[in-house]
Structure 1
Amino acid sequence: MELLSHSPEDTEDIGARLAEQLEPGAVVAFTGDLGAGKTAFTRGLARGLGIPDRITSPTFTIVNEYEGGRLPLFHFDMYRLGSADELFDIGWEDYLRRGGVCAVEWSENIADALEEDAVRVDIRRGASDQERVITIAGVSKL
């Protein structure tokens, strides 16, 4: 499905709606350019899961963990990883077993490690500076 966002708030709202459908162990795999809105979408996921924490990009830490909602949220940034092998070195399988939601920015860097049932979210710039085209695969509706 393809959705249009006209602001970071719209992007967050779409993320919140998606979060309501996610089950324990879900993986949300993001693709999109730098600054496209992947972290804004993840803020929406957190809100939809009922997580009250401030959500920030895990660029230098690889993963930020958030609890306190319906499900925990594990927010990964794979920009600096060179391969899926490095992903397993940081305990990817342990995160999957913990029954939370894994939100994975720069998922193309570890594509061979992702299961086919991952929810795929591609965020691209639209016609204006604020507009984003968000394509979501792996869910039937929002």
Structure 2
Amino acid sequence: MSRTTVERFLPDAEATDALGQALAVTQPAQAVVYLHGDLGAGKSTLARAWLRALGVQGPIRSPTYTLVERYPIPGGEALHLDLYRIGGAGELEFLGLDEAGAALWLVEWPERGTGSLPAADLQVDLQVQGAGRAVRLLAMSPAGDEWVKRMEIEGDLRPLPESNP
């Protein structure tokens, strides 16, 4: 499978929110997303915007200490995981994720859960770049490939500035 990749520059929080909205609007019914980036790269900010776009009301907490937060969304449940604090993938069995059957998985620090997580449809790489963020969307499955292509075709990514800082 050829992996579709899109790279953009997000100059501010509004652009990150717009990306979260575009991803929410175009996501398939079932999606697993791995969020990569250093501390402070914007993973939780993107996840929060995404969940808001799916209609989540009330506080959207970072799962840094709880490891997983669950949210009702149209079509099921969204799981937002932050695996930064786990010692190994074996610790995930205590979270009861295998029977979760979630419609959306947003996983921060997925490399710490290798072998215990479902395969990703989309990988989102975020990197601080000046005052903004560089983002790369990488399709990891056929569904992810169609998803990234759909975002490009429908123009959901075009409003994001493509400047080179």
Task: Give TM-score scaled by structure 2 length.
Answer: 0.75
Whichever of the two has the greater Rg, that structure is 2
Aligned-residue offset at 1:52: 2.1
- Deviations along 1:87-130, one digit per CA (max 9) or x if unpaired, are 122112122x1x3211111112113334444311110011x1x2
1:44 CA displacement: 1.6
Aligned residues: 137
* Distance in 2, Cα, partners of 1:14 & 1:45: 8
Cα gap change, 1:58 to 1:117, in 2 (>3 Å): closer
Q: Look up the match of 2:160.
A: none
Aligned counterpart for 1:112 among listed residues 115, 119, 128: 115
User: In 2, are the aligned partners of 1:53 and 1:66 still within 8 Å (CA)?
Assistant: no
- State the Cα RMSD in Å: 1.7
Q: SS in structure 2 opposite 1:15? A: helix
| Structure-2 residue corresponding to 1:140 | 148
Deviation of 1:30 after TM superposition, in Å, equals 0.7
Aligned-pair distance for 1:45? 1.1
Q: Which residue of 2 aligns with 1:94?
A: 99
Q: How many percent of aligned residue pairs carry the same amino acid? A: 33
TM-score (norm 1): 0.86
In structure 2, runs of 5+ residues without a counterpart are 1-5, 140-146, 152-165
Mapped contact 1:42–1:55 kept (Cα < 8 A): no
The ranges of structure 1 where at least 4 consecutive aligned residues each deviate by more than 4 angstroms after the TM superposition are none
Kindly indicate whether residue 130 of structure 2 is the aligned counterpart of residue 122 of structure 1. Answer: no
The answer to whether the 8 A contact 2:137-2:148 is kept is: no
Q: 1:70 maps to which residue?
A: 74
Q: Which runs of 5+ in 1 are unaligned?
A: none
